[in-house]
Amino acid sequence: MAVVAAVPRSLARATFSLADRVLAISADDEAVCHILRTTYDDARVNQARTIHHQAAIARLSDGRMHVRFDRRTLGLTDAASTIPLLSAYYAVKEVFARFASAVPRGVAFYGAAVAVNGSAVLILGPTSIGKTLFALHLAWQGATFLGDETALLDTPAGTLRALARKPSLREGALGLLPPGIPERITEAPHAVQTERGRFWYALAPGQLGGVAPLDKPLHLRAVCVIRDRAPAFSIRRADLADVLPSIMQRAYIRPSQLAQISGLRRAMRGVAQYEVSLSDPQASAAAFLRELA
């Protein structure tokens, strides 16, 4: 079980930024404050800045999380977790997803992002398909890691940036990491035991061989849609019309944002689209970088 350190009362309210927008979060739950302090600390900003959105997270007497974003109460499917730290993690994760989706002129995605030769690559795919692992292997082979959770596309500018959140990994990924990295991760202080094994969160650069998130907007060069896992890595260039439904499935599109779909299409023009089947992540990352080159 994870040990949650004592949280200063000053962290009961903290402010965070994404693309020059500021979110203020109020929390009275120790586990929530711990997640904010460890996982999202790189996104924290001075409270004196103008606040655009507000969220409140509280734990009810039955252990469930009550979450509000601006004036809306959020229904969380994972909020009933019997592990307090996990329910806090899911609640905070949903708040930042809502924050990203509320940024004007942008479309937010549940996906990983890296930079290759100064341009961004957006990595999309189903939950637990291996996006974080793939992005980390790309970084270990020369790419720049941007983030592994939420990526925001500025549609008029055609630039991509990632939320500055420290990465997380599940126990099943340990056998697919380069030598030396698994030992560092198993010694990392932020871990929780789940029914699927241990889950490490807020991984620091020292535990990931120097990999750290970078909050910087970069021109979007390519989108990589991970279709599945296979014995051998495969990749093909695709037309935007073919992959747009898959791209939209990973977007945090809310009803008020449907008008931005046309902006998304315009932003994706000239962006290389790839469909891949992942095999060994190290070999897959090397093959993908060769394709980009």
Of 151, 148, 143, 114, give the one whose Cα is nearest residue 130: 148
pLDDT of residue 195: 87
Q: What is the pLDDT of residue 31?
A: 94
Rounded CA separation 252/249 (Å): 8
| pLDDT tens, residue by residue, 17-49 | 999 999 999 999 999 999 999 999 999 998 778
Query: What is the value of pTM for the model shown?
Result: 0.91
CB-facing half-sphere around the CA of 16: CA atoms within 13 A:
25
Over the stretch 173-194, which tens digit does the pLDDT of each residue have? Answer: 999 999 999 999 999 999 999 8
| Biggest CA pair distance of the chain | 55
Q: Which of 100, 119, 120, 85 is nearest to 252 (CA)?
A: 100
pLDDT digits (tens, 9 = 90+) for 215-272: 899 999 999 999 999 999 999 999 998 998 899 889 886 545 556 677 788 888 889 9
8 Å CB contact between 73 and 246: no
DSSP state of 127: T
